[in-house]
């Protein structure tokens, strides 16, 4: 006995109607039509989410950049010996050491 015959027999024993939908296409799903106000609200919400995510990303980058710059300054200070006149600041620009008066 095949699967279909078994299903038909069980359906007849329990008085259940058995409809064979083979050969027919299922009805198409209907898309819900949105009003212009609903479309605007969705677009506004999407824009807000994108901008909010971008703001969070910018804040993360700012924190990472600040930490990186701090680390770079420490590395520069550790690698360069202090060889300047008292009261001057030393900084490197294009591989040339520049001394400037400390105005603080």
List the domain boundaries for the chain: 36-63
98 contacts: CB under 8 Å, gap ≥ 6: 90, 91, 92
Helix (H) or strand (E) holding 90: strand 88-93
The phi, psi pair for 34, rounded to 5°, reads -100, 145
Confidence of residue 104 (pLDDT cuts 50, 70, 90): very low
Helix (H) or strand (E) holding 95: none
How many residues comprise the chain? 104
Helix (H, G, I), strand (E, B) or coil at 73: helix
The pLDDT value given to residue 84:
53
The pLDDT value given to residue 25:
76
pLDDT in tens, 20-34: 666 677 778 888 899
Residue carrying structure tokens 């819900």: 32
The pLDDT value given to residue 56:
94
Separation between Cα atoms, residue 45 and residue 51, nearest integer Å: 10
pLDDT in tens, 56-102: 999 999 999 999 999 988 888 887 765 555 555 555 544 444 445 55
């Amino acid at each position: 006995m095949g699967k279909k015959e078994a299903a038909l027999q069980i359906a007849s024993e329990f008085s259940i109607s058995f409809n064979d939908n083979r050969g027919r296409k299922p009805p198409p799903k209907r898309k819900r039509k949105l009003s212009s106000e609903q479309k605007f609200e969705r677009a506004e919400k999407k824009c807000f989410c994108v901008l909010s995510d971008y703001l969070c990303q910018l804040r993360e980058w700012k924190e990472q950049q600040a930490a990186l710059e701090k680390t770079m300054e420490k590395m520069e200070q550790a690698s360069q010996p202090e060889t300047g006149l008292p009261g001057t600041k030393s900084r490197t620009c294009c591989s040339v050491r520049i001394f400037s008066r400390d105005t603080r």
